[in-house]
Structure 1
Amino acid sequence: MKIIIDTHIYLWALAEPFRLSDPKRSALEDLANTIYLSAVSIAELMIKASIGKIQIDFDPVAKAKESGFSLLDFSSDAALMLKDLPFHHKDPFDRMLIAQSIATRYPIMTEDSKITQYDCRVI
């Protein structure tokens, strides 16, 4: 299975894996799955670090590769979906991840319950 991970899932997997449920941890560790870190999450981390909301003292791209995650670019097709995406969720980064999940038909792994209101599969 191909899975897009939400930004907080990526951070938890790196630094606080105990916060992940057993099924989520198993899915991340299953070598049959391709786990994607979206360029959207990298942008979110860099923007939040630049405004002092979080501290990032590592290269998230290099760390993702070291951790066995694949990188997923944000496509123009996914961007076009943002215009008609309902406003159940206001966070622009989450909205982009939702659009990406819908466009690729890859489920998104998250703890954000608002994402379940969209036409995408949530793990």
Structure 2
Amino acid sequence: MRLLLDTHLLLWWLAGSPSLSGKARALISDSENTVFASAVSLWEIWLKESLGRLRLPADFEERLAEESFESLPLTAAQTRQLALLPWRHRDPFDRMLVAQARVESLTLLTADPLVSGYGDFIMLVR
């Protein structure tokens, strides 16, 4: 399976947080799956950190580099898909992750029930 982590799941995985469900942990750690971390999530993380809304551990970048996640850049086709999404959810970062998953045929893993309503390519892991 090709999985895209939403921003919360990415942060929880890197922190070893108990907030990450067993189902999510199993999917991410399964070597049969290819796991993607989006540039959109990193944009959100660095933005929130710079605004003082998120405190990252000093070794955040090292932890991220140690993971075997595939990097998912933002493309023009993905931004076009964003404009076609219904307005079920107002968070621009979540909406962009949904658009990326749809365009790239990825399964988006999320713990957010608001995000899960966009289609069967989204897996709610709570």
TM-score, normalising length from structure 1?
Answer: 0.90
Corresponding position of 2:64: 64
Relative to structure 1, the CA distance from residue 107 to residue 61 in structure 2 (aligned partners, 3 Å threshold; closer, same or farther) is farther
Structure 2: 5+ residue stretches without partners: none
> Any conservation in 2 of the 1:17–1:25 contact (CA below 8 Å)?
no
> Any conservation in 1 of the 2:110–2:122 contact (CA below 8 Å)?
yes
Relative to structure 1, the CA distance from residue 58 to residue 100 in structure 2 (aligned partners, 3 Å threshold; closer, same or farther) is farther
Q: Distance in 2 between matches of 1:93 and 1:27?
A: 22
Deviates more, 1:17-26 or 1:89-98: 17-26
How many angstroms does 1:16 deviate by?
Answer: 3.4
Corresponding position of 1:106: 106
Corresponding position of 1:46: 46
> Any conservation in 2 of the 1:98–1:120 contact (CA below 8 Å)?
no
How many angstroms does 1:10 deviate by?
Answer: 0.8
How many residue pairs align between the two structures?
123
Corresponding position of 1:14: 14
Letter in 1 for 2:109: M
Corresponding position of 1:30: 30
Indicate yes or no: 2:97 matched with 1:97: yes
Structure 1: 5+ residue stretches without partners: none
Relative to structure 1, the CA distance from residue 65 to residue 46 in structure 2 (aligned partners, 3 Å threshold; closer, same or farther) is same
Relative to structure 1, the CA distance from residue 33 to residue 80 in structure 2 (aligned partners, 3 Å threshold; closer, same or farther) is same
SS of match in other structure, 2:71 = strand
Letter in 1 for 2:27: A
TM-score, normalising length from structure 2?
Answer: 0.88
SS of match in other structure, 1:114 = coil
Relative to structure 1, the CA distance from residue 120 to residue 64 in structure 2 (aligned partners, 3 Å threshold; closer, same or farther) is farther
SS of match in other structure, 1:35 = strand
